[in-house]
Chain A
Amino acid sequence: MIKKTFRVPDMSCTNCAMNLESLEDTLDGVKEINASYHKLQMTVEYDEIRLTDEQIIAAVKKKGYQAVPV
């Protein structure tokens, strides 16, 4: 398991953070996501064998946001 932080500059309210955190339930290999609207970033704890950065970025993009690894 590794923890990675992504910058998500498109978040416009706390609901966006909740929306991103919902990837916890759909993205295979994710243990926990903590998204913060205040910091415009999300921290993902995931299994690097089952999931890659690119897959996370793609999933975030599908939600309508851009994620940039910090």
Chain B
Amino acid sequence: MSRNQKPSLDPVILITLGLVLVTIAVVMIVFQSDSNSVNIANDSGTMSQLIVAFVTGLTTGGLSCLAVQGGLLASSLAHQIEQDYLEKAPHAERKKQRGKKTQVQPRSSSALPILLFLVAKIVAYTLLGALLGLLGSYLTLSPMTRAVLMILIGIFMLGNALRMFNIHPIFRYFSIEPPKFITRYVRRTAKGTDTFTPLFLGALTVFIPCGVTQAMMAAALGTSSMAMGAALMFAFTLGTSPVFFIVAYLTTELGARLEKFFMRFVAVVVLILGLVTVNSGLNILGSPLSFQNLTRNLLPSNSGPATVAQVPQASAAEGEVVLYVQNEGYFPRTLSAPAGKDFTLNLVTDQTYSCSRDFVIPALDYYELLPDTGTVQVNIPAQEKGSTLFFTCSMGMYTGQIVFE
């Protein structure tokens, strides 16, 4: 390697990736510690929600956001690269005249604005998350409202996925067009070449969120907590950053050649996420049409961990039924109860911290946040023979049913 040749990996990229990894490590440590100052750290369900948000950002958010917001960044970058080229070109020309081979490399110039853009974006979305969480705390969403919201979000995501697949023109309306005055303002700001422009633009992306981000914003609203809303949006936006950075960087280098491939990939993932979200909403509504409720009888029933099997079950004939609420879900997932008479459902938790604690029986309009350890009794009124009562966690992730015989 000659002395003039640049290393294949840009130092700015290495530093950026290092910073991203350190940030992730710090976030993980902060949320895993037993600090009481931030309540959200103690709940493993909440932790898993944050990890899901991070992974969603990492897998789909980055690409989806890039599709919507990438143009802004690219226009800013293009100008930066152009400036960079003009600054270096005469220098290169002189070297060429001296008989040396020199390539103009705008790499370091494109990496820094992307980094600044992403930092501003993370800060802006974290603040937005806090605001949404605060707003949600005043709205207090009931499980049913949350179910409807989730189904609407799911439909929105499905519509967006079908739009990306170009199935029918009608699906274009699932893409929200920002008001003209905002796009004009953002566009005109994008022309600046100073360091603050990418920072400012990154912050402005809150006005043009992509479909996945909009879904995450709704989730932040649903947390009903300022800290949790901020943490959720921070985790998500942080997750979007590496992909956003790498793809934005490569896009400036490779052009739009890979864009089609990435859009297809995003469309597939958004489609899957949309289906999962609609399904969760159906679970919270207690609909027999959800995937779990449709397939429960087709698949062999999971009796749960060995510890549950060893505990003696209360007799249904005696008017009591026990349901073990564990971190992994409800055990057994199908309970049998006598038809035509009231009985007591004992919900037993033992160091349960996942969202299974948020217990919902939609048909009875019953919702209770169970203690992490203890027993809560629920009086179930008499039900007809052959009927089924579905129960679920408030996220629609864990489900089960009571069959009346």
Contact = CB atoms under 8 A, between A and B. Distances in A.
B175 A37 contact: yes
B75 A38 contact: no
Contacts of A14: 68, 175-178, 208
Interface residues of A, number: 17
A13 B256 CA distance: 14
A38 B172 contact: yes
B177 A17 contact: yes
Given A18-B183, A18-B187, A21-B187, A36 B71 contact: no
Given A37-B172, A38-B172, A19 B71 contact: yes
Interface string A21-37: 11011000000001011
Interface string B169-190: 1001101111010011011100
A62 B70 CA distance: 19
A64 B176 CA distance: 22
A13 B183 contact: no
B67 interface: yes
A15 interface: yes
B184 A21 contact: yes
A64 B260 CA distance: 14
Contacts of A19: 71
B261 to A, nearest CB: 14
Nearest to B177: A14
B67 A15 contact: yes
Given A21-B184, A22-B187, A38 B71 contact: no
Contact of A13 (B169, B175, B187, B191): B175
Given A18-B183, A19-B71, A38-B172, A25 B188 contact: yes
Contacts, number: 47
A28 to B, nearest CB: 17
A13 to B, nearest CB: 6
Contacts of B173: 38
A35 B250 CA distance: 28
Interface string B372-384: 0000000000000
B177 A36 contact: yes
Nearest to A22: B187
Interface in A7-63: 12-15, 17-19, 21-22, 24-25, 34, 36-38, 40
A21 B184 CA distance: 8
Contacts of A24: 184
B146 to A, nearest CB: 28
B177 A15 contact: no
Nearest to A64: B256
Contact of A34 (B180, B188, B208): B180
27 contacts: A12-B166, A14-B68, A14-B176, A14-B177, A14-B208, A15-B70, A15-B71, A15-B72, A17-B177, A18-B71, A18-B72, A18-B183, A18-B186, A19-B71, A21-B180, A22-B75, A24-B184, A25-B188, A25-B191, A34-B180, A36-B177, A37-B172, A37-B175, A37-B177, A38-B175, A40-B169, A40-B172
Given A15-B72, A18-B183, 11 more contacts: A12-B166, A13-B67, A14-B175, A14-B208, A15-B67, A17-B177, A18-B187, A19-B71, A21-B183, A37-B172, A37-B175
| 6 closest Cβ pairs, A-B complex | A15-B71, A18-B183, A14-B177, A38-B172, A14-B175, A22-B187
